[in-house]
Each structure stands twice: as C-alpha cells, then as structure tokens.
Amino acid sequence: AVTVAILASGRCPDLTPAKAGMYAVVQIAGGIAAALTCSFVYQGAALGLGPAGKSTWMGASVAEIVFTFVLAYVVLCVAVSQTTKVSHMFGFAIGSCVTVGGFAIGGISGGSLNPAVSIGLATPSFTLSMLLKALAYSAFEIIGGAAAAGVFKVTHEVDMALLEEKTAV
C-alpha cells in the first residue's frame, strides 16, 4: 500500500510502474516467507485473517483503510516530500504508525496494514476463503494508500514545483 501511495503521489520519478510491481512481488514473497516461517515454528498453525472477535467486515474495512492511510501519509510526509522530509527520526515516525495501528485496530481487524502481510497470512492455510479474505484486505489497504497519495498531492502541492525545478536543471 505504501508503494502504491509513493507511485501515485508522483513525487518519486525513479519509481516507475514496473519497479513498483517488482517491489510488490518481492514484498509479497517476504510476507509469504514470514508466514510460512511462523507456521513452521508453531507446528503448522495458521494465523487468522479477518475481523477479530465480534468485529464486522465493515469495522475491519474502515480500520484497515484509515490506519493504512495514516501509515502511507506519514511515509509520504517524512520520507518522500522535499519540503517535509526529515533525515533523522523518520524511521521512528513510521514505526510509531505501525505500532499505534497494531494496538488501535489489532482487536478489530488484526492490523495487517499491508497487502504483503495479508497475502502472506493467507498462504499457510491455502484455502479459497483465506485467499478471498487476503484480496479483500489488500483492496482495503490499497484504497488507504491511494487516498493518502491523493491527500498528499493536495497538501504538498509545493513539492511539485520543487520537483519540476530539480528536473529542469
């Protein structure tokens, strides 16, 4: 979702759609490897994916969209924007979003916040039901990332002028 946000923001000219696709494939492979490792460590147990406890799909979808938006927007602000980028503490800001998101929505949706994590979680059980849940979660997360890119384009319009100046030289 963050890769989608960076690509959609238009602020990283080196990130072509082909490169973004390659990044996504590698991220998904990492998510699958992590989930298979976890399943091996816990003797074949698969982790759940879907609304937690008494939560509904509506609640899980809102939670994933909103907190993926927050994560992607913060990444765009602290790591991509030419005007608000910080060379220090950006990892702390991004990590804090993941931590807060996990605590805030873990009991609602599980707090995946990443299509690679969602697809990875679906892999060990390898059922159609889990695949559909992973696709639904991935869609929620991509919507959150795309929304972050849209808001970022509006709130950081000055970056485009700086980018155009930089590429013109």
Reading the chain (169 residues) residue by residue, the pLDDT tens digits are 999 999 999 888 899 999 999 999 999 999 999 999 988 998 877 777 899 999 999 999 999 999 999 999 999 999 888 778 878 888 999 999 999 999 999 999 999 999 999 999 898 887 899 999 999 999 999 999 999 999 999 998 877 776 677 666 6
Residue type, 110: G
CA-only gyration radius of the chain, Å: 17
Q: What is the DSSP letter of 48?
A: P
Residue type, 15: L
- Structure tokens that stand for 48 in this block: 């759940």
Residue type, 81: S
